[in-house]
Amino acid sequence: MPTDRSGPDDALEPLKQAIRARFPEAEFDYREAPDGLRAYLDVFTDCADDFAVLELVAGATLDLYLQHGVLVHVFPFRRLTR
């Protein structure tokens, strides 16, 4: 089950807030690449359209890279129903 672990860099918080504004049920799982150059943010929502999540974060991920040097890849996942 995903957790809401924040990464070492609080720069990801605006990205999470942007996602939660549209998908309040969103859960996140953060991890860094072994080389330390990239971060991965898994986003779990009830949305069937992955592109809806990606459209929200396209500009924000570019801003994170340009302003903070944080290269983050966002992977949207549809939460499985129980």
Which CATH number belongs to the domain containing residue 68 in this structure?
A: 3.30.70
* Confidence (pLDDT) at 67: 87
Asked if residue 1 belongs to a domain, the reply is: no
Identify the domain containing residue 32 by its residue range: 10-78
Mean pLDDT per 10-residue interval, the chain, length 82 residues: 49 88 94 88 92 91 88 91 60
* Confidence (pLDDT) at 8: 45
Asked if residue 4 belongs to a domain, the reply is: no
Q: What is the 3-state secondary structure of the chain?
A: CCCCCCCCCHHHHHHHHHHHHHCCCCEEEEEECCCCCCEEEEEEECCCCHHHHHHHHHHHHHHHHHHHCCCEEEEEEECCCC
Asked if residue 48 belongs to a domain, the reply is: yes
* Confidence (pLDDT) at 69: 85
Asked if residue 2 belongs to a domain, the reply is: no
Overall number of domains in the chain: 1
pTM above 0.85, yes or no: no
42 to each of 18, 47, 58, 62, how far by Cα in Å?
Answer: 14, 14, 14, 17
* Confidence (pLDDT) at 5: 47
* Confidence (pLDDT) at 82: 55
